[in-house]
């Protein structure tokens, strides 16, 4: 039964754990999680099927072992919470949980954008000056910013990315003024956290890492025409799927626990042999043999599906790097 529980993805195991805690305790955990994490775990909670007592016990044991190795849980920030929980639990059951999670949160002004749908954010900022758009996208998480960028006019994207790359911090007064302007568009007011680290080449690279490969290439090509050196600097900061070969074995093993088998199969269909061998050697012999068989049986897949799977794994790797669970080698070493 423990083996069956281990086959569940990280999100599914987290969902089972939260469902065993009860409403109040689950809410307390969720309010410390980031936007994408809340969405992913919320969906997993809605979709989880019947789980045996033995499987639950195995998941709880695994959680206890993980906690014993940590000095703190180290959980993060904000997003899609209301929509996900309503879909997962229904309006009545979700309302109490939502109130507990959101109580005391400062989600107005710029911070509120982190909890908004990407298309809605794009609609709010699409008519602003490209420099304002660059500042807003720099303030969002890279994956959220990439999604917002995809909803902006194609001709605008390269200009915005260049401005993000060249952005060298924002004066607190200017950031506060922008926060107040945005607040007037969707109500509310709060003190915004200011940062001299907003923007820069690394931020631009982080955002592009989450874009579809074809869009990413198009943006970089346009930037190259305007500033070849800047384009190269951005590319040098980007972390691609092949760079996972530089992650140490312990990091790869931790990453594999968070990735579903189907996503891994799709990602490896377009990977080189070095990456495949890196993955195989960090699995049990039986698991590696099963994965090889699944790869052979999978047959041809679309390049777009492979790229999407690889992007998903990279997103998980970056999140784990930011929380200190693994170190990204090669070009991505600055993520940590």
Are 12 and 44 spatial neighbours (Cβ–Cβ below 8 Å)? yes
Q: What per-residue confidence (pLDDT) applies to 264?
A: 92
Place of tokens 């993000």: 164
How far is 10 from 257, CA to CA, in rounded Å? 6
Q: What per-residue confidence (pLDDT) applies to 265?
A: 92
Q: Which of 42, 52, 44, 64 is nearest to 5 (CA)?
A: 52
* CATH fold match for the domains 110-237 and 241-329: yes
Distance of CA 3 to the CA centre of its chain: 27
Q: What per-residue confidence (pLDDT) applies to 209?
A: 78
Domain spanning 110-237 has what CATH number? 1.10.220.30
Are 41 and 86 spatial neighbours (Cβ–Cβ below 8 Å)? no
Tokens describing residue 23: 């409403």
Give this prediction's pTM. Answer: 0.48
Q: What per-residue confidence (pLDDT) applies to 191?
A: 40
DSSP state letter for 192: P
- Specify the DSSP element, H or E, that contains 44: helix 35-47
Q: What per-residue confidence (pLDDT) applies to 77?
A: 36
Q: What per-residue confidence (pLDDT) applies to 90?
A: 63
How far is 256 from 253, CA to CA, in rounded Å? 5
Q: Which of 1, 39, 7 is nearest to 259 (CA)?
A: 7
Are 304 and 297 spatial neighbours (Cβ–Cβ below 8 Å)? no
Mean pLDDT, 10 residues at a time, the chain of 336 residues: 58 80 76 72 75 75 64 41 63 55 51 77 86 86 87 91 84 70 55 53 84 83 90 81 86 90 90 90 91 88 86 84 69 36
Domain spanning 241-329 has what CATH number? 1.10.220.30
Q: What per-residue confidence (pLDDT) applies to 215?
A: 83
Residues, the chain, total?
Answer: 336
Tokens describing residue 87: 């879909």
Are 319 and 313 spatial neighbours (Cβ–Cβ below 8 Å)? no
Are 203 and 144 spatial neighbours (Cβ–Cβ below 8 Å)? no
Burial (Cβ within 10 Å: 0-12, 13-18, ≥19) of residue 111: buried
Residue spans per domain, the chain: 2-102, 110-237, 241-329
């Amino acid at each position: 039964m423990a083996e069956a529980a281990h086959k569940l993805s990280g999100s599914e195991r987290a969902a089972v754990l939260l469902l065993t805690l009860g409403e109040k305790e689950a809410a307390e955990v969720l309010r410390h999680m980031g936007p994408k994490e809340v969405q992913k775990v919320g969906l997993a909670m809605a979709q989880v099927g019947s789980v045996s007592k033995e499987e639950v016990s195995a998941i709880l044991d695994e959680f206890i072992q993980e906690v014993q190795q940590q000095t703190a849980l180290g959980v993060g920030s904000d997003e899609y919470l209301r929509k996900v929980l309503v879909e997962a639990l229904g309006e009545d059951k979700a309302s109490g949980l939502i109130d507990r999670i959101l109580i005391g949160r400062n989600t107005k002004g710029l911070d509120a954008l982190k909890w908004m749908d990407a298309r809605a954010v794009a609609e709010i900022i699409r008519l602003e000056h490209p420099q304002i758009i660059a500042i807003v996208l720099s303030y969002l998480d890279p994956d959220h910013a990439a999604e917002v960028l995809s909803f902006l006019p194609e001709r605008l994207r390269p200009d915005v990315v260049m401005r993000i790359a060249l952005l060298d911090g924002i004066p607190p007064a200017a950031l506060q003024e922008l926060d107040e302007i945005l607040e007037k568009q969707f109500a509310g007011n709060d003190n915004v956290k200011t940062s001299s680290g907003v923007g820069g080449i690394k931020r631009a690279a982080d955002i592009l890492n989450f874009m579809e490969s074809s869009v990413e290439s198009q943006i970089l090509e346009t930037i190259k025409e305007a500033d070849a050196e800047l384009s190269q600097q951005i590319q040098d900061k980007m972390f691609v799927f092949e760079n996972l070969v530089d992650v140490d074995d312990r990091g790869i093993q931790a990453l594999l626990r968070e990735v579903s088998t189907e996503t891994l199969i799709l990602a490896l269909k377009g990977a080189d042999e070095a990456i495949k061998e890196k993955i195989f050697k960090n699995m049990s012999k039986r698991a590696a043999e099963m994965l090889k068989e699944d790869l052979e049986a999978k047959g041809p897949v679309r390049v777009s599906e492979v790229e999407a799977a690889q992007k998903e794994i990279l997103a998980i790797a970056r999140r784990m790097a930011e929380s200190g669970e693994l170190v990204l080698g090669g070009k991505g070493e600055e993520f940590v």
